[in-house]
Structure formats: structure tokens, C-alpha cells
Amino acid sequence: MRKLINQLLLQDKLLKRISIFATLIVVYVSLKPPEPESESWSIFFIRGDLFLHFVCYFGLSILYYLALFNHEKVTEKTLILSLLIGFILETLQLIPIFHRFFDVQDLIANFLGASVGIFLIQFLFFHSVKD
């Protein structure tokens, strides 16, 4: 299993393409106008969109970490990239054409998702992770 993981991590191009594709999906979902009849929902008393922000940036940070695994300071680069994308997308929602709204709570959910994703991958692969 360890050999399989190492082979996957050495295939930068595949992981980078997957992370770019995932980023494009997050960009589309973040900037598309909301459905006119969409109802708000919650999970465990947390707004549903905050949960989705957390999950998206949790996944993105793991993908970025794997894609940048062979780079130096992978943790810092991954966190900065995840947070930068989240901040840019949230700031773009200030533009009226997108019919979206800037929300600081979304930024917090993005930060928490990215941080937990990086922490989890470092915890699970403690012996394999270099930094």
C-alpha cells in the first residue's frame, strides 16, 4: 500500500490536473447565481452553506497538499493557496453581476476546512510527510 501511495504522489501531473479541475468546480459553484427557489438548510444547527464551504476547502487543501507534495514548504503553500482562492472567490461575490453576497462566516468556514484538511493529512501520514 505504501508503494502505491508513493507512486501516486510522484505523479505530480495527474494530481495537479485533478486539483485544477476541482478548483474550477469550486469557482463555478461559488460564483453561479443562486437558484431563485432555493431554500436554506442546516446540519447540526450549522448553516448548510457553511458546511459546504468547510467540505469544499477541506477537500481542496488535501488535493493541493498531494499535488504539491514534492515541493518544499508544502504545508504553507497549501494553506496559502487554499485561503487565497477562498478569499478571492468571496471578494468576487461583492460584484453585483454574480448575485451573491460576501460573508465573513464563509471565509471562516473556508479557513477551518483548509486547516483541518492539512492537519488530518499530516496526522494520517505522519511518517511519510516531509516538510
User: Do residues 60 and 119 lie in contact, with contact meaning Cβ atoms separated by under 8 Å?
Assistant: no
Four-residue CA torsion sign, 13, 18, 23, 12: negative
pLDDT-wise least confident of 8-17, 65-74, 97-106, 115-124: 8-17
pLDDT-wise least confident of 37-41, 82-86, 120-124: 37-41
d(CA 2, CA 14): 18
> What pLDDT shows up at residue 41?
55
> What is the overall mean pLDDT for the chain?
82
Domain ranges of the chain: 46-131
Maximum Cα interatomic distance, the chain, rounded to a whole number of Å: 50
pLDDT band at 12 (very low <50, low <70, confident <90, very high): low
pLDDT value at 81 more than 70: yes
Question: Would you say residue 131 has pLDDT above 50?
Answer: no
Per the listing, cell 461559488 goes with 30
Would the pLDDT of 40 be above 90?
no
Residue 46 belongs to what H/E stretch? strand 46-47
- pLDDT of 2 > 80? The answer is no
CB-based burial, 85-115: b 16+ in 10 Å, e otherwise: bbeebbeebeeeeeebeeeeebbebbbebbb
